[in-house]
Structure 1
Amino acid sequence: MADKNTYPGLSFAEVEERKARGETNEALEPMTRSFKQIYLENSLTLFNFINLIIASFVIYTGSYKNLLFLGVIVVNTTIGIYQELRAKKNIDELTLLNQAKATVIRNSQKYEIAQDEIVKNDLIEIKRGHQVMVDGIVLETRGIECDESQLTGEADAILKNTGDKVFSGSFVVSGTALIEATHVGKNSYTSKLTMEAKGSKKVYSELVHTMKRIIRVLTFGIIPIGAILFITSRFSNMDVNQAILGTAAAVIGMIPEGLILLTSVALAISVIRLTQRRVLVKTMGSIETLARVDILCLDKTGTLTSGELKVTDVTAVNGLTTEEFEVIIGHVSHDLNEDNATGLALMSNFKQKESDWETAHIIPFSSARKWSAVEYGHGESFVMGAPEYLFDSFSELETQAMAKATSNGLRVLAVAKTATSLSNQTLPNSLELIGFIYLEDEIRAEAPQTLAYFMKQDVEICIISGDHPQTVAQIARRAGVSGADQMIDMSKLPAETDYRELVKTHRIYGRVSPEQKRSLVEALQANGRTVGMTGDGVNDILALKKADCSIVMENGSDAAKGISNFVLLDSNFDSMVGVVLEGRKVVNNIQRVASLYLTKTVFSIILAVLFIFIAAPYPFQPIQLSPISSLTVGIPSFFLALRPNVAPIKGRFLKNVLEPALASGVSVVIYAMIILIIGQQFGWTYNETSTITVWMTGMVCYVALYYVSQPFNWKIGLMIATSISLFLALFIFGGKIFALDNLFQWHLAVVYIPLMISAIPLFYGLKRLSRKILKVK
């Protein structure tokens, strides 16, 4: 837009001088953690610290074989770091490809550069859909309006004139401008707010939230319970070494170490899979959120449709010939020079003929106004936009023509002229209609199939668009969306409309303003829905920001992509199915296997509390928990966590996890107490008692493993059979290492065989009880 002679910009030498002085801009903070952060946050955890303390006490006893649990900790930490680094690499590569560029003028030429290459006093061109990257001053403007709500909280767009300031973190909703960067990097007045505004919004993850709750509860319980158990063991005249090993086993059992690892690894693997499909994931938690979405709000243009409009017809009225009308359209569209879908279609279809028409004033298109205008020096102004926003009424023939067009899914633009001058971004008076333009937008080829999938999966579809309601309804009908006949014209709704009631009965909305889009999303959330929102333009930003999960196509505006949770880099609407399926895999599989990890936590806590009051050694040693943790929980869970379990997510995560965990955990406690009583009655040694307790604990865990492995297949059967065989082999060949006695002794067999037979009915009986207590649906 700028004349290169009027605004030559900085020379290359001046750019280098400013770089040397440190007057450069800052890039966006990376979405992923640094290698140092990943390493430290996976290594320096509270549970690792507790494990090191336990290890030091075990070393004191001289029973070094009981340090085997440290090997598991090292392997877990290594796997966690490796998988997160893989996910980081994939995300960083896609982020680099998707990074917004800046157009600057240097040495009288335009260059496209990365935003961290901007220096102070650079001349930058900004336009509708751009995020402002630096603080600056407007040198030249074509009706630029900025949304500064991220900075000031003021929702209305602000018109910027020559000499006005623009601030980083705001985004352009209308017009174009040339600005000079006055403050860059840390010197920017709103640098901190900029990072927040450009970064992705905070995502609530029930999965992560539940894990944090579990960790928080265990943090307050592990240390005091362990300390009391050790003290009471010593008061009962137990050997100090045995007291240490028993306490160590109790504390180690309470820590669901692998569960936290499994959650991180499963999410990281999902991120890797999605990046390979050209889906940029801003936060790992957003994968889960999209999987929980039960209503998907779609902006029609650029999301449901291709966004590439084409002119199908024009109609001139009031004595104007078609040729004269097309000449006017050519002048107006090229002088507006809008780079949105409508502007590009008009400029492509109508050429600008040479004339002496000189522009005096321009009002660019705005989603809020839904019209644009050009004033010429010869005294005429032309306005182009949505018909009902320009005129209150039309003739019967005009109304019928527009109704027919919108019913066929066409977009209708009215063109009017006036002798009134343009001012203050307000609609001129005394408009005279001179014609209509009809445009067509094609439905994406993959859209009907994708929408049909979502509806089959009980995800409702809601279409929210700024277009005419009839046009939106027709597009919805062709895409297979139900409820197309019950469309709503949002421009005609009274201000006092109850949106919460409105969204209960309607799913197709036309002539929606950006603020109304946000209000509709808020109303759905207030009604208990988890809302996903797709869009691509500045008119979608408020709704995208408010939605539980937001998805933007790669060809969307920089501002929209900046606040989204997902960017579909191939602009393929069908990619959303893959994102949802990945999320369902993660949540469903972790929900299943989490109960295996919490089984150990449940029985360890209950047993630790009971043995505070029982004058007997704790029934496990640390090394005896290793085969239980690895063979019945750890190794199987990694196979199960990668299963293609894509069923809709039901119920609350914690309740679903606790139901089988309580059943199996309490089963272990019951068997441990029965074995302790029998052992005391028949004079069994500690090793004999602990051997049978370990065996029965394994059997209960395998029953729980079978339950969480549903639906069952031969691969799962082979995995469980192999695991049981290895578990049995430890008793036969690894007795000395794992402090286990010979299992094949008749006085032991007569006890554990009946207990094994009762394991299945006991587990399922306790599970039904747990379901009633937890009120799991």
Structure 2
Amino acid sequence: MTSPVSEAVGLSDAEVAQRVADGRSNNVPERTTRSVAHIVRANVFTRINAILGVLFIIVLITGSLINGLFGLLIVANSVIGMVQEIRAKRTLDKLAIIGQAKPLVRRQSGTRTVAPEEVVLDDIIEIGPGDQIVVDGEVIEEQNLEIDESLLTGEADPIAKDPGDAVMSGSFVVAGTGAYRATKVGADAYAAQLAAEASKFTLVKSELRNGINRILQLITYLLVPAGLLTIYTQMFTTNVGWRESVLATVGALVPMVPEGLVLMTSIAFAVGVIRLGQRQCLVQELPAIEGLARVDVVCADKTGTLTESGMRVSDVEVLDGTPERAATALAALAGADPRPNASMQAIADAYHPPPGWTVTATAPFKSATKWSGVSYGEHGNWVIGAPDVLLDPASAAAARAEQIGAQGLRVLLLAASDVVVDDPAAPGHVTPVALVILEQKVRPDARATLEYFAAQNVAVKVISGDNAVSVGAVADKLGLHGETMDARRLPEERSQLADVLDSYTTFGRVRPDQKRAIVHALQSHGHTVAMTGDGVNDVLALKDADIGVAMGAGSPASRAVAQIVLLDNKFATLPYVVGEGRRVIGNIERVANLFLTKTVYSVLLALLVGLECLLAKPLGADPLVYPFQPIHVTIAAWFTIGIPAFILSLAPNNERAYPGFVRRVLTAALPSGLVVGTATFVSYLGAYHGRQATAVEQDQASTAALITLLITALWVLAVVARPYQWWRLALVIASALAYVVIFTLPWTQHKFLLDPSNLGATSFAIGVGAVGAAAIEANWWMRARTLGVPPRLWR
């Protein structure tokens, strides 16, 4: 249906200013990133900082400043986390302004695009295919207007809108044009909260974060009994004085806290955002970076992804009548389209509208029907669209169109119809008039991008609304070989569809609902699917894919539902996006292994010492003083965890991630932690001289235990750093050499309370450490075989 032409000219500037002053504007945050103040609070006032802060104050009470060195962790954790997240926030906010949908608002001073928050109550907003409805409103003009509200209501079919009908923010236009008057703005709009959530910067709701939270819960269950046992035994059974008891207790509790795990995770995510932002890639949902690491299938649209969005008319083959008649009809069709798509824009660029052709009816282009048309009274009814949809497949014209499409060109049929185009029976019987041949330029970087995915074992499925033969020809030119299928032959049953998708690579004449079904079918076979697209017909598939990637020049609706927007419209950016995802999740897994191993061996050591203290009196033995003071566990963490973890968390990593993060981390950290803790305890028992030992003998026993701990912990680092590259091996060697320096320099021996002068105790500690390292190495090989992952020493 076509509405009468409206004369509404919109609000005056004075009326707009008055509504802004009255608070009747669409004043909602551009993004819901946390404020700087919120970021500062979130990074300073953490549970881990609170625990370390209390322990730090307790150590200061003893007067041992050197043992309070771990307090620097509070400053480091807070500052590093704040700096990285604030940088990420600024990157996201800048990119969000570039990538946001800008409605076209009609006012008395002129029609122009404005930022969403500049829309005021009663503004008149013009809309066309692909536009997102930014505020609630009432339709005042329409020309075959159809709105998709599935993102809000779940209603799958587009809804035709007439003047007076309501439109809701969060929906989008699939066909036709029109205008609506804003009736609800800001927080009153139906989808204001939905829109806010869609663009939220978040560090939660991801398998990685959920896995870490589960691990932290497990650690909490271990920390409580181990901590209480340590406090009781060290304070009330050892009888070595309150100062030594306090330092021993703090020395046991500090390493139990995985202080850097959450920090390193946040840093890895934030740095990922910054790196992608430098490539003009807007991450609208932070966990998308993680999801990219697991992608094994990329569904790519042809137009705008493998080929550039723009087209040009290459040739017109006249089938009936004169070239002038075909040219005039094409010019009239292009002139009658207020919101031309890429094909119609190419025709509009080649022809100028003829005078005297008055529009009497229109039928907009729809992805489902593949044609559009205009009726011009005495000048006839004209349609333009897909030849294989409008023509009899056995006709000569259809055969010729197929032949041209096989060259990778886009072909449209211009035809005359025997019914008015808005008739329910349209297009009716059509008479072919001409074949319009459009040329699309293949993106110069498309081949290299497809080759990258092939090398990374990521399958690429090309799903397009274009002719299947044409799509297959373009894919073949780019080196993407495989079978091509016309989507009209695809089965509807999901399991059958999934089987077909395993066998075919390229699909043409795909409807929007089929794109969504393809995504679901691939997911049903266990695939992690990334969907790329730029048009309104890609919206539903983008939304349901594991990762939706939209082009910056695409429709506002596609950008709104995608987790990632490529603002530079370069398909070649996608490998960097996938690589960044792999870097983040792969490196966090390495870092998690280090931190959790430390927590496990710290808890185990505390439990072993505590149990010995409880059993010592009945057995007539001396209760053990905890082997380490806070300074010992602080320096132990420097080069076995802290510095290596920071470097590993930011290093390149292109290994595809797989589900099962928690299982892999626990199967690595638990055995390693048990070995380190047991070996350290054995070494300490061998060097311990009882509660009557002199201060020198106690330092020698603590030093021996620390040597064993460092040897085994460094071997954990050596295992985690695999497969080796030169810099990873150098990192392990440098970390080991750092401890050699600390243990040999008299100044560091004095400052850090170390005494390796007892050759017997030191030799025994080295021997126990070597046995522990061998056990960790054996576990690495056995774990690899258990998980079915080939062990690799070198990349």
Range into which the TM-score falls when normalised by the shorter chain: over 0.9
Letter in 1 for 2:762: A
Give the Å deviation of 1:712: 4.4
Residue matched to 2:372: 372
Residues 231 and 776 of structure 1: is their aligned pair in 2 closer, same or farther, counting only changes over 3 Å? farther
Structure 2 distance, partners of 1:202, 1:670, is 36
Residue matched to 2:761: 748
Residues 304 and 714 of structure 1: is their aligned pair in 2 closer, same or farther, counting only changes over 3 Å? closer
Match of 2:307 among 289, 305, 308: 305
Structure 2 distance, partners of 1:570, 1:527, is 33
Classify the secondary structure of the residue corresponding to 2:625: coil
Matched-pair contact (CA < 8 Å) for 2:296–2:529: yes
Residue matched to 1:271: 273
Cα displacement string for residues 596-630 of structure 1 (whole angstroms, at most 9, x for unaligned residues): 22221110122223233111222222221100111
Cα displacement string for residues 309-343 of structure 1 (whole angstroms, at most 9, x for unaligned residues): 222222333x4222112111111121123331111
Q: Which deviates more, 596-605 or 99-108?
A: 99-108
Residue matched to 1:511: 509
Name structure 1 gaps, 5 residues minimum.
Answer: none
Match of 2:282 among 277, 280, 286: 280
Match of 2:489 among 489, 492, 495: 492
Structure 1 distance, partners of 2:42, 2:465, is 46
Cα displacement string for residues 646-686 of structure 1 (whole angstroms, at most 9, x for unaligned residues): 23446743344345434432232222222233234788643
Cα displacement string for residues 236-287 of structure 1 (whole angstroms, at most 9, x for unaligned residues): 3545554443333333212221122222222222222221222222233222
Residues 138 and 671 of structure 1: is their aligned pair in 2 closer, same or farther, counting only changes over 3 Å? same
Cα displacement string for residues 681-721 of structure 1 (whole angstroms, at most 9, x for unaligned residues): 78864333222111211122222223333454665555444
Structure 2 distance, partners of 1:371, 1:560, is 22
Matched-pair contact (CA < 8 Å) for 1:303–1:573: yes
Structure 2 distance, partners of 1:230, 1:212, is 26
Residues 414 and 224 of structure 1: is their aligned pair in 2 closer, same or farther, counting only changes over 3 Å? same
Residue matched to 2:163: 162
Structure 1 distance, partners of 2:459, 2:83, is 38
Q: Equivalent pairs: percent with the same residue?
A: 37
Residues 711 and 150 of structure 1: is their aligned pair in 2 closer, same or farther, counting only changes over 3 Å? closer
Name structure 2 gaps, 5 residues minimum.
Answer: 614-623, 791-795
Residue matched to 1:445: 444
Structure 2 distance, partners of 1:114, 1:547, is 28
Cα displacement string for residues 521-564 of structure 1 (whole angstroms, at most 9, x for unaligned residues): 11111111111111000100111111111212221111111121
Letter in 2 for 1:44: F
Structure 1 distance, partners of 2:268, 2:569, is 26
Residues 715 and 494 of structure 1: is their aligned pair in 2 closer, same or farther, counting only changes over 3 Å? closer
Are residues 1:653 and 2:661 paired?
yes
Are residues 1:582 and 2:580 paired?
yes
The size of the alignment, in residue pairs, is: 771
Matched-pair contact (CA < 8 Å) for 2:6–2:140: no
Residue matched to 2:631: 623
Letter in 2 for 1:550: G
Residue matched to 1:633: 641
TM-score (norm 2): 0.91
Structure 1 distance, partners of 2:540, 2:156, is 10
Cα displacement string for residues 46-69 of structure 1 (whole angstroms, at most 9, x for unaligned residues): 222222333344345454443221
Cα displacement string for residues 452-478 of structure 1 (whole angstroms, at most 9, x for unaligned residues): 111011111100111111111111111
Give the Å deviation of 1:82: 0.5
| Root-mean-square deviation (Å) | 2.7
Structure 1 distance, partners of 2:664, 2:569, is 36
Give the Å deviation of 1:130: 0.9
Residue matched to 1:320: 321
Match of 2:753 among 739, 742, 753: 739
Structure 1 distance, partners of 2:94, 2:424, is 42
Matched-pair contact (CA < 8 Å) for 2:137–2:181: yes
Matched-pair contact (CA < 8 Å) for 2:203–2:286: no
Structure 1 distance, partners of 2:538, 2:203, is 18
Cα displacement string for residues 440-493 of structure 1 (whole angstroms, at most 9, x for unaligned residues): 22211110111011101111110011111111111111111121xx22212234
Give the Å deviation of 1:133: 0.6
Structure 1 distance, partners of 2:504, 2:14, is 60
Cα displacement string for residues 336-369 of structure 1 (whole angstroms, at most 9, x for unaligned residues): 23331111011112221112x2112222111122
Q: Which deviates more, 440-449 or 102-111?
A: 102-111
TM-score (norm 1): 0.93
Letter in 2 for 1:407: A
Residue matched to 2:358: 358
Matched-pair contact (CA < 8 Å) for 2:684–2:704: no
Residue matched to 1:386: 386
Letter in 2 for 1:603: Y
Residues 762 and 428 of structure 1: is their aligned pair in 2 closer, same or farther, counting only changes over 3 Å? closer
Letter in 1 for 2:581: G
Structure 1 distance, partners of 2:138, 2:15, is 19
Letter in 2 for 1:378: E
Cα displacement string for residues 192-245 of structure 1 (whole angstroms, at most 9, x for unaligned residues): 234346769999643323222222222333234312332344553545554443
Match of 1:566 among 564, 567, 572: 564
Classify the secondary structure of the residue corresponding to 2:298: strand
Residues 9 and 425 of structure 1: is their aligned pair in 2 closer, same or farther, counting only changes over 3 Å? farther
Residue matched to 1:58: 59
Letter in 2 for 1:375: S
Give the Å deviation of 1:760: 3.5
Give the Å deviation of 1:288: 2.4
Matched-pair contact (CA < 8 Å) for 1:279–1:569: yes
Structure 2 distance, partners of 1:7, 1:312, is 40
Cα displacement string for residues 713-748 of structure 1 (whole angstroms, at most 9, x for unaligned residues): 6655554444334424444323444333x2122232
Residue matched to 1:611: 609
Q: Which deviates more, 690-699 or 419-428?
A: 419-428
Residue matched to 2:619: none
Residues 80 and 196 of structure 1: is their aligned pair in 2 closer, same or farther, counting only changes over 3 Å? closer
Residue matched to 2:617: none
Aligned positions of 1:231-242 closer than 5 A: 231-234=232-235, 236-238=237-239, 239-242=241-244
Aligned positions of 1:384-423 closer than 5 A: 384-391=384-391, 393-423=392-422
Residue matched to 2:712: 700
Aligned positions of 1:648-687 closer than 5 A: 648-649=656-657, 652-680=660-688, 685-687=697-699
Structure 2 distance, partners of 1:548, 1:614, is 52
Residues 203 and 142 of structure 1: is their aligned pair in 2 closer, same or farther, counting only changes over 3 Å? farther
Q: Which deviates more, 197-206 or 660-669?
A: 197-206
Residue matched to 1:478: 477
Letter in 1 for 2:566: L
Matched-pair contact (CA < 8 Å) for 2:264–2:591: no
Residues 475 and 678 of structure 1: is their aligned pair in 2 closer, same or farther, counting only changes over 3 Å? same
Structure 1 distance, partners of 2:498, 2:783, is 36
Give the Å deviation of 1:593: 3.3
Q: Which deviates more, 625-634 or 278-287?
A: 278-287
Residues 717 and 304 of structure 1: is their aligned pair in 2 closer, same or farther, counting only changes over 3 Å? closer
Structure 1 distance, partners of 2:220, 2:625, is 24
Residues 603 and 770 of structure 1: is their aligned pair in 2 closer, same or farther, counting only changes over 3 Å? farther
Structure 2 distance, partners of 1:651, 1:492, is 34
Matched-pair contact (CA < 8 Å) for 1:4–1:108: no
Q: Which deviates more, 745-754 or 518-527?
A: 745-754
Residue matched to 2:460: 461
Give the Å deviation of 1:18: 0.6
Classify the secondary structure of the residue corresponding to 1:744: coil
Residues 609 and 266 of structure 1: is their aligned pair in 2 closer, same or farther, counting only changes over 3 Å? same
Residue matched to 1:553: 551
Cα displacement string for residues 558-611 of structure 1 (whole angstroms, at most 9, x for unaligned residues): 111112122222212111122222222223333333322222111012222323
Residues 425 and 464 of structure 1: is their aligned pair in 2 closer, same or farther, counting only changes over 3 Å? farther
